[in-house]
């Protein structure tokens, strides 16, 4: 995949090097393309995004899970995978469930990274195909918009996204780049310079799409998921076309899905090893709760972010 990455970058290099550039989080730089910032290399790179726009082919039965990094991607991948493939629970086979041995990122691939594979989409054996993406709505491959497939968006409080991204970036950053300080991270976040950011534009893009196509795009928040995950799982299953039957509910299958996808369970299963893309599995499980930002942001930082969010969401009903 590394060799493919270099090849794809080479293909789009002339278009990329002329774009505005800023300091990156897990990579050296971020480039501004179609109003959003994309990593200079590695996974989710700008070249991958350009490549997927050109070649990725969606199918009407596909399911797409869209998020900004650190907004609950791993969680929604696990939940969707478990809901759609829940026959695996039958006959008491919970102990052999794939999520108990594989990381959710190895079960549900990102469209931006699929392009790196010699045999794209080969990893998705199941129908419907489930993919994730960090790409903003307005930059998605056209076939996803056109084919009428379902999209689930998960949004998270910007302050928790900032803190989570800060920790994650320092875990996976190339050593040669040194660490990123929290002050630096805060400044970049406020300026909108995060992978697939600005935060507010990403959220607004999907929010607007949800209000225009409510049957096709489901908008969830990490915070609501943290409060009442069982109900969200039921609604999500219905939205995806896989509603739980009364018998399944009585048999406690909803609770089983919730449990197998819980932060505690996933963290326990993912203590060792790397995902296929080379990132340590444990890097995706840190605190797993709402409000950890209060341990990192000063009152002044919190106030500044509140002001920016209020201003940016003035016209939306999003309560971020």
Query: What residue ranges bind ligand A3P (CB under 6 A)?
Result: 67, 69-75, 160, 164, 167, 261-263, 266, 284-288, 292
**Nearest distance, CB of residue 76 and ligand A3P, angstroms:** 8
Task: Residue 163: name the closest of 73, 303, 289 by CA.
Answer: 289
**Nearest distance, CB of residue 204 and ligand A3P, angstroms:** 19
What DSSP element (H or E) covers 256?
helix 253-260
- The answer to whether the CB of 160 falls within 8 A of the CB of 226 is no
Which of 85, 262 has the CB closer to ligand A3P?
A: 262
User: In 90-134, where does DSSP find H-type helix?
Assistant: 104-107, 111-114
**Nearest distance, CB of residue 208 and ligand A3P, angstroms:** 21
Structure tokens given for 87: 């026959």
Which of 162, 217 has the CB closer to ligand A3P?
A: 162
**Nearest distance, CB of residue 146 and ligand A3P, angstroms:** 27
Which of 248, 292 has the CB closer to ligand A3P?
A: 292
Which of 104, 205 has the CB closer to ligand A3P?
A: 104
What DSSP element (H or E) covers 242?
none
Residue where the block lists tokens 């990192």: 296
From residue 304, alpha-carbon distances to 36, 58, 91, 182, 301 in Å are 21, 40, 53, 15, 5
Residues designated as active site: 134
Instruction: Name the DSSP class of 42.
Output: S
**Nearest distance, CB of residue 67 and ligand A3P, angstroms:** 5
- Give, in degrees to the nearest 5, the angle at Cα 151 between 95 and 236: 50
Which of 16, 220 has the CB closer to ligand A3P?
A: 220
Structure tokens given for 17: 């090097």
β-strand pairing of 21-23 with 29-33: antiparallel
- For residue 301, how far is the Cα from the chain centroid? 25
**Nearest distance, CB of residue 135 and ligand A3P, angstroms:** 14
Q: How far, in Å, CA of 153 to CA of 282, rounded? A: 24
Q: How far, in Å, CA of 114 to CA of 128, rounded? A: 16
Which of 21, 182 has the CB closer to ligand A3P?
A: 182
């Amino acid at each position: 995949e590394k060799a493919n990455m270099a090849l794809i970058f080479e293909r789009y290099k002339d278009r990329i090097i002329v774009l505005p550039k800023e300091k990156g989080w897990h990579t050296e730089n971020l480039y501004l393309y179609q109003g959003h910032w994309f990593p200079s290399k590695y996974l989710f790179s700008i070249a991958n995004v350009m490549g997927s726009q050109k070649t990725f082919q969606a199918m009407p039965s596909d399911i797409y899970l869209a998020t900004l990094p650190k907004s609950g991607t791993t969680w929604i991948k696990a939940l969707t995978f478990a809901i759609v493939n829940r026959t695996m629970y039958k006959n008491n086979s919970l102990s052999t469930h794939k999520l108990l041995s594989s990381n959710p990122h190895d079960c549900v691939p990102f469209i931006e990274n699929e392009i790196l594979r010699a045999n794209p989409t080969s990893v998705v054996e199941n129908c419907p195909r489930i993919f994730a993406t960090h790409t903003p709505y307005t930059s998605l491959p056209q076939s996803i918009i056109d084919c009428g497939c379902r999209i689930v968006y998960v949004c998270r409080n910007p302050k928790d996204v900032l803190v989570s991204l800060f920790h994650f970036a320092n875990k996976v950053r190339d050593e040669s780049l040194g660490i990123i300080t929290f002050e630096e991270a805060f400044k970049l976040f406020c300026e909108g310079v995060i992978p697939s950011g600005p935060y507010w534009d990403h959220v607004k893009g999907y929010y607007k799409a949800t209000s225009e196509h409510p049957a096709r795009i489901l908008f969830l928040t990490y915070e609501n998921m943290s409060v009442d995950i069982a109900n969200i799982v039921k609604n999500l299953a219905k939205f995806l076309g896989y509603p739980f039957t009364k018998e399944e509910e009585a048999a406690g299958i909803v609770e089983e899905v919730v449990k197998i996808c819980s932060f505690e369970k996933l963290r326990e299963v993912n203590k060792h090893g790397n995902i296929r893309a080379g990132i340590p599995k444990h890097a995706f499980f840190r605190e797993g709760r709402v409000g950890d930002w209060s341990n990192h942001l000063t009152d002044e930082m919190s106030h500044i972010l509140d002001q920016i969010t209020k201003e940016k969401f003035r016209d939306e009903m999003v309560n971020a």
